[in-house]
C-alpha cells in the first residue's frame, strides 16, 4: 500500500490517470461522498498497478468526520489497500436517495 501512496505523491504519479478502485462485493458507494470502508478491494484480483478510493467513514453517518483517501497497490495479483491521507472534506449526509441511486 505504501508504494501507491509514495508513487501518487511524485510528479509522475500526481499527473497520472490512476483509476478508481473497483468496489468490493458488499460495498456501498454514495454519489455525493465516496464509498464505505467495506468497498475497498483488499485481496481482490488486480491487473493495474495502483488504484485510488475515496472512503467515507460516516457509515453509519456521523457529523464532522472526513472522507479519507485510500490507495491500493497490486501485489502478486491482488489488491493491498490502506489509508494514504485523512481527508479534509467533510462527509456529506447521504440520505436515502443517495444510497439507492434514485
Domain ranges of the chain: 1-10+34-81
| Under 8 Å between Cβ of 72 and 7 | no
Predicted pLDDT of residue 14: 66
Top-confidence residue, 32 or 30: 30
Top-confidence residue, 27 or 1: 27
Predicted pLDDT of residue 7: 73
Stretch 59-70: mean pLDDT: 64
Stretch 59-67: mean pLDDT: 58
Predicted pLDDT of residue 99: 37
Out of 46-50, 73-77, 92-96, least confident range: 92-96
Backbone φ/ψ region at 78: left (φ over 0), alpha (ψ -120 to 50), beta:
beta
Distances 91 to 44, 56, 95, 99, 101 between C-alpha atoms, Å? 27, 7, 12, 14, 17
Cell triple for residue 38?
A: 467495506
Amino acid at each position: 500500500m505504501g508504494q501507491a501512496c509514495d508513487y501518487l505523491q511524485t510528479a509522475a504519479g500526481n499527473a497520472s490517470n490512476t483509476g478508481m478502485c473497483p468496489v468490493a462485493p458488499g460495498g456501498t458507494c454514495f454519489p455525493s461522498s465516496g464509498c464505505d470502508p467495506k468497498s475497498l478491494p483488499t485481496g481482490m484480483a488486480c491487473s493495474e498497478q495502483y488504484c485510488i478510493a475515496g472512503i467515507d467513514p460516516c457509515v453509519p453517518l456521523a457529523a464532522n468526520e472526513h472522507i479519507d483517501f485510500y490507495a491500493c497497490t497490486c501485489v502478486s495479483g491482488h489488491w493491498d489497500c490502506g489509508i494514504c491521507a485523512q481527508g479534509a472534506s467533510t462527509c456529506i449526509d447521504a440520505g436515502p436517495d443517495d444510497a439507492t441511486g434514485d
